[in-house]
A and B are shown apart, each in its own frame.
Chain A
Amino acid sequence: MQAITTTKTATALHISGAEAIIRCLLAEGADTIFGYPGGAIMPVYDALYDFREELHHVLTRHEQGAVHMAQGYARASNRVGVCLATSGPGAANLITGIADAQIDSTPIVCITGQVARHLLGTDAFQETDVMGISMPVTKWNFQVTTAEEIPEAIAKAFYLARSGRPGPVLVDITKNAQVEKFDFAYTPCTNVRSYVAKPKIDPEAIASAAAAINEAERPLVIFGQGVTLAAAEEELKQFVEKGNLPAIGTLLGHSALPTDHTHYAGMPGMHGTYAANKLTNECDVLIAIGMRFDDRVTGNLEYYAKQAKVIHLELDPAEIDKNVVADIPVLGDCKESMACIAPLLHPRPRKPWFGKFKELDQMEEEKVRQGELHPTEGALTMGEVIDKMNQVTQGNAVIVTDVGQHQMVAWRYGDFKLDKSHITSGGLGTMGFALPAAIGAKLGAEDRQVIAVIGDGGFQMTLQELGTIMQTKVPVKILILNNEFLGMVRQWQQLFFDKRYSSTEMDNPDFVTIAKGYGIEGQRVTERDKLPEALQTFLSHPDAYLLEVAVGKENNVFPMVPTGASVSDVRLE
């Protein structure tokens, strides 16, 4: 193999590999990192001790917590998240989060310790083949076995994590490389010759896309997280306004366009809005921006937008024609391509088309939203909790959700006025994501209110991170919507498995008492009239706070596109 080498300069420092790692992180602008020490990473932790003023290390309670925090940090700040773990079990515990970051294109750099080079492949204590394990779930990974390789490997890691379609990278560093001394100098990476970060945009594709949109009677924009990752929220706004185009946002794309924007027209997919699903199969031009036509968005592909001319603005060539064939593929950074197309658009009134959204929305309002958001009797609903919370946050909070019914409800009913405000585990659907990701998000966006919305199941997957909140004093808000069930699985069991509730009912502990044990204040609400005040206390408290709300045990999330069905068959009940 080719060894990575670094250029020595006259100003080089003679330092250990461990110290070099810290200096590389600082050179890349890292201010906060998340990790957990152990044998094979101890030299790095020792070096960190000398840099504790410059580099804030957050001690988590589990490596999975560290990687989800790095993800939350990255998603809230659009910067690279960094986590640190030891070899063997430490590195293996990162894998779920790395897989999550891979499928959701989150830029993170994971640094793992490894046994000394001479012990590689010997089944040494806490040795595992981290390169092999992480390979399918990383954008890039690299094993460093000498100190000299460190600067270039870390420079390349940051460059690859953040450039192009972002993703997780892992650098595995043997203990001897951390201890060895060498002449250190750092040069950021700006290019990898086999890698195209930004494909050049084809002007013909731009012209064809603009012409198709201008001809459209019933255009529909469907935007995804590519908009957020490209920091193209402003371009999206101008694009939909200039062309007068209704726009629907995927789960991951949500908050790239404010939910109160005039052209915002709902959300597609399994639990998306009625209008967005129905009208996807009635539009004449579908303009997909920075999204990948996930199966949860499209339902049955055989019946998905077959009538429409599809324009796909996408950075990753592998996504073009993967699930939905694009009539006009526009390969490139959507920030640039939207900016190129927008000036060519001629706005048309399209009143009947916009009217259809309103008409179908009214049906959803009557059949779903009224009951979910404004019930007057019976148990509390998840929807009304989110709706009441909007009144306090005014749509200005970052909402980090876990996976399940509460996730769909927070997405559907949360108000989002600012970008990078909706953070969730989309592609992988990782329960346990929200609590640590919210801690990371708060540290990545300290001036924002950050609320973790979690189900009773997911909370118990990573609740040990309450310890991180206690020690680091992160003022993150935790809203548990407790239905004493694994609600989404139960919903499926009810609808598709004859109500056979196999292993979905949960006997839960007293969450408020658990929080108290960690020095976190909290309360439990079971009655409707107590909710507004509890939410006020929850969100105005200066520190972290846990609010548990007991919600209806067997409530369902609607609308719903059943698995294998067409988006046209979206059900309201």
Chain B
Amino acid sequence: MKEQFTILVYTENKVGLLQRVVSTFSRRKINIESLNTSESGVPGIFRFTIVVESQEEWVRKTVKNIERQVEVHKAYYFRDEDLVYQEIALYKVPTKVLAANGQAEELVRRHHARVLGVEEDFTILEKTGHEIETEALYKALQPFGLLDFVRSGRVAITRPKRDWQEYVESMEWELQQQ
């Protein structure tokens, strides 16, 4: 049965590593729903947040294959209930529609969206939330002549203290020893 999983990968910051990580999915023909990468809380260590839909067995094996890569420190997979997660979405809407139509303003308020910038021709709105919430605002704004829409993909934090923190602590301890 296919389910949604979020995979967290902690890596060195090296050229080509993204390709190594991504190819472990393409090799098993697993499509990546979203992928986000940036420096983690530990300087020099990068963190990937990857969302896929697949069978758990395949995800488990793929995660082990990712961790096998020399420059990958750790890789974990989670179901949604183990995570606090969020994504950000930006919406570009014609300003005159927003100005002329109280309905649109009401939408913005109801969805707790923020106005990031107003130009003569268009206004940029921002909404953070789960995919379902950013999607809901997208659908609601569509009748108003939405000009553009983008979302960041998921970033996520695990609920309990996980191996990663312990791993970092032991690694830092080891680095101090050297």
Residues of chain A having any CB pair with chain B under 8 Å: 1-2, 131-132, 135-136, 139-141, 143, 160, 192-195, 316-318, 321-322
Interface bits B73-106 vs A (CB < 8 Å: 1, else 0): 1000000000000000000000000000000000
**B71: A residues at CB distance < 8 A:** 140, 192, 194-195
**A317: B residues at CB distance < 8 A:** 64, 67-68
Interface bits B16-36 vs A (CB < 8 Å: 1, else 0): 100110010001000000000
Asked if residues A132 and B19 are in contact (CB atoms below 8 Å), the reply is yes
Residues of chain B having any CB pair with chain A under 8 Å: 11-16, 19-20, 23, 27, 44, 60-61, 64-65, 67-68, 70-73, 171, 174-175
Inter-chain CB contacts under 8 Å: number = 49
Shortest C-beta distance, A157 to chain B (Å), equals 11
Q: A193-B171, A318-B65 are in contact. List 6 more A-B contacts (CB 8 A).
A: A2-B12, A140-B70, A140-B71, A160-B70, A194-B72, A316-B68
Interface of B, helix, strand, loop or mixed by DSSP: helix
**B64: A residues at CB distance < 8 A:** 317-318, 322
Asked if residues A136 and B171 are in contact (CB atoms below 8 Å), the reply is no
Interface centre among A192, A195, A321 (most CB of B within 10 A): A195
Known: A194-B71, A317-B68. A136 touches B14 (CB 8 A): no
**What are the 4 tightest A-B residue pairs by CB atom distance, in nearest-first order?**
A318-B64, A1-B15, A140-B70, A194-B73
Q: Which residue of B lies closest to A317 (CB)?
A: B64
**A160: B residues at CB distance < 8 A:** 70
**B13: A residues at CB distance < 8 A:** 1-2
Asked if residues B14 and A135 are in contact (CB atoms below 8 Å), the reply is no
Cα A318 to Cα B64 in complex, Å, equals 5
Q: Which residue of A lies closest to B24 (CB)?
A: A136
**A140: B residues at CB distance < 8 A:** 70-71
Asked if residues A318 and B27 are in contact (CB atoms below 8 Å), the reply is no
Known: A2-B14, A136-B27. A192 touches B70 (CB 8 A): yes
**A131: B residues at CB distance < 8 A:** 16
Asked if residues A1 and B14 are in contact (CB atoms below 8 Å), the reply is yes
Shortest C-beta distance, A188 to chain B (Å), equals 16
Q: Which residue of A lies closest to B27 (CB)?
A: A136
Q: Which residue of B lies closest to A4 (CB)?
A: B14
Shortest C-beta distance, A98 to chain B (Å), equals 15
**A135: B residues at CB distance < 8 A:** 16, 19-20, 23
Asked if residues B12 and A194 are in contact (CB atoms below 8 Å), the reply is yes
Known: A193-B171, A194-B70, A195-B70. A136 touches B15 (CB 8 A): no
Shortest C-beta distance, B145 to chain A (Å), equals 41
**B61: A residues at CB distance < 8 A:** 318, 322
**B67: A residues at CB distance < 8 A:** 317-318
**A1: B residues at CB distance < 8 A:** 13-15
Shortest C-beta distance, B10 to chain A (Å), equals 8
Asked if residues B175 and A193 are in contact (CB atoms below 8 Å), the reply is yes
Which of A132, A141, A143, A194 interacts with B11 by CB under 8 Å? A194
Shortest C-beta distance, B164 to chain A (Å), equals 13
Known: A193-B171, A193-B175, A194-B11. A318 touches B16 (CB 8 A): no
Q: Which residue of B lies closest to A139 (CB)?
A: B70
Shortest C-beta distance, A134 to chain B (Å), equals 10
Q: Which residue of B lies closest to A169 (CB)?
A: B70
Q: Which residue of B lies closest to A143 (CB)?
A: B15
Q: Which residue of B lies closest to A194 (CB)?
A: B73
Shortest C-beta distance, A104 to chain B (Å), equals 16
Shortest C-beta distance, A541 to chain B (Å), equals 45
Shortest C-beta distance, A146 to chain B (Å), equals 14
